Structure 1
């Protein structure tokens, strides 16, 4: 089933807002109210998609990991050069996301996954 364009837009705005906030403070200091005010999204709408900011972050991480795994599935596991290039391309394509998820906050759950 296809997702409604408005839902896709709302989720994208919420994700972008959270990632922007992660550049300035850790996830445990970010509130749903703050995300919603910046994104100009009603809190009820937020809660219709996510339980809290941690859930939103987990969804962002899951999508990134899924994209990462999909990209790597096309690589011959024995070709180290091809693997390194693919990993570099994925990180380069998602540099802001990687920076926010890995370096800009204290949450290291993505690295563990």
Structure 2
């Protein structure tokens, strides 16, 4: 049995990020928030696991996305919520020729 082939979805041009450094895109039918921090782009399932609020409407601060619902802070690298056991689904990203690609499959989170 062969391993599944990773499917990448072209989303937006890196140059299209505005001053707020975030965008909401569709990846394989799912809402995904993109956050640009320095040269990196991080991708989160947009709907918060806690309050079902849009993370796109949240704030990026000190390496975390802060949910507008109850201000849970999700680590940009891992998706784990500060001081919580829960984890927001995240997606791998890559930039090819100025286009941001997002994996169609969320990362498997460490337990």
Question: Shorter chain as normaliser: what TM range?
Answer: under 0.3
Q: Which has the higher strand share?
A: 2
Q: Which has the higher helix share?
A: 1
Structure 1 length-normalised TM: 0.23
Larger Rg: 1
State TM-score, norm by structure 2. 0.24
Which has the bigger relative contact order, CA under 8 A and spacing at least 6? 1
